[in-house]
Amino acid sequence: MRISKLLKSWEFALFILLVAEIIILGIINPIFLNLENLLYATLDFSHILLAALPLTLVIITAGIDISSVSVMGLSSIVLGLTWVAGAPIIVALGVALLVGTLAGLFNGVFTANTDVNPLVITLGSLFMFAGFAQGLPILLDKLNFKVAGSGGLAAYQYEGITGLPYSFTDIASTTIWLIPLPFIIVLVFAGILALLLHKTRFGRNLYQIGVNLDASHYSGIAVKKVLILVYIISGFGAALAGIILTAYFTSARADLGSDALLAIITAVVLGGSDILGGKGTILGTLLAGLVLGYLQQGLLAIGISGDIIQVVIGAVLIASLSIRAMINAISQRRQNQKTLLSRSSERR
């Protein structure tokens, strides 16, 4: 029974799609059939997975967080500024993660305590955090924070912060059993979130809130605390993504990750999460993120431009929403037919 259910699951369909995609890309370009190359390619989209995985939890509650791309840039520039101010890199990492967590707290508090749509709240914070990231170097300069470097801190608004310690930037080039360290971080983060979602009361509460918010209030669930916590997790994941991007590019910049929003949302939706809430799995998002990541790599390998790739990803998002809507409609129709049959048999 479990095997039959597994074979019919959306996650299994995504796994088959991933395998088929790698085979097709391997036929076009044999480099994709090399395991080491496949694993190394994850460096290009690990940040998307790190932001998409916690966003799954948010969407399960019928919420949304589109500010994650700004949090990536904000955490990156904060990391760099903290380091050039003289703090050890480990302290700078902690400050960057704290900033991402506080950004998530901001979104969570407003979402939980107002009737404003989370899309509107996080749209506002998207621009606000991006503004903070761009303006922070200038603000610190005006407050007379002085560090070594041409033009003072204000110069870092456009130049970015380079020269970060090798002990930090080596994160992007370190491998363990051929697996890049950033992807190992992705897998560990996914495992923690999967346990949190599927094996704890907190996870069950997320599904309940997404299915029926009013019923969740009446059933004794601390809805506000749950919502705040889920947005904090999203902010933490975005900050972690920003740190990984900073190590990958060996430069702290305020605009890192700014082009990743479409891919992040598509990974969650393609992974089976219902944008209306109540459905979604971490495994589905992880597999969908891999499908999208390798699709991007494959299109780039055959000479497709970045602008066209954005069009393809947008089409995948629309197609995945349409397919899920069709599946839900068919499922609902079958359920209604079963209900009618059972009622007619009872009357007889």
**Chain-centre distance of CA 32, in angstroms?**
24
Q: How many CB atoms lie within 10 A of CB 223?
A: 18
Predicted pLDDT of residue 9 = 80
Question: Three-class SS string for 137-166?
Answer: HHHHHHCCCCCCCCCCHHHHHHHCECCCCH
What's the start-to-end Cα distance of the chain, in Å?
Answer: 31
User: Domains of the chain by range and CATH?
Assistant: 7-295 (1.10.3470)
Whether pTM > 0.85 for this model: the answer is: yes
Please calculate the CA angle 29-305-53 and round it to the nearest 5 degrees. Answer: 80
Predicted pLDDT of residue 345 = 60
Per residue in 166-225, pLDDT (tens digit) is 989 998 888 888 899 999 999 999 999 999 999 999 999 999 999 998 888 888 889 999
Q: Which band of pLDDT confidence, cut at 50, 70 and 90, is reported for residue 317?
A: confident
Q: How many CB atoms lie within 10 A of CB 151?
A: 12
Q: Which band of pLDDT confidence, cut at 50, 70 and 90, is reported for residue 309?
A: confident
Q: How far apart are CA 288 and CA 270, in angstroms?
A: 6
- What's the average model confidence in pLDDT over 257-262? 88
Residues, the chain? 348
> One-letter amino acid identity for 348?
R
Structure tokens at 289: 């993120």
Torsion sign across C-alpha atoms 173, 247, 243, 298: negative
SS3 content of the chain, % helix, strand, coil (to 5): 75, 0, 20
Which of these, 172, 170, 159, 171, lies nearest to 252 by C-alpha position?
159
Are 252 and 168 in contact by the 8 Å Cβ rule? The answer is no
Which of these, 184, 223, 178, lies nearest to 202 by C-alpha position?
223
- What's the average model confidence in pLDDT over 36-45? 88
Average pLDDT across the chain, whole number: 85
Predicted pLDDT of residue 220 = 84
Cβ neighbours for 112, distance < 8 A, ≥ 6 positions apart:
223, 224, 225, 227, 228
Place of tokens 């190992």: 184
Per residue in 76-129, pLDDT (tens digit) is 999 988 888 888 999 999 999 999 999 999 999 999 999 899 999 999 999 999
pLDDT at residue 323 greater than cutoff 60 = yes
Q: 38 vs 13, 162, 187, 267, 270, CA distance in Å?
A: 20, 28, 15, 18, 21
Q: How far apart are CA 197 and CA 56, in angstroms?
A: 10
Q: How far apart are CA 215 and CA 206, in angstroms?
A: 12
Predicted pLDDT of residue 148 = 47
- What's the average model confidence in pLDDT over 238-262? 91
Predicted pLDDT of residue 108 = 96
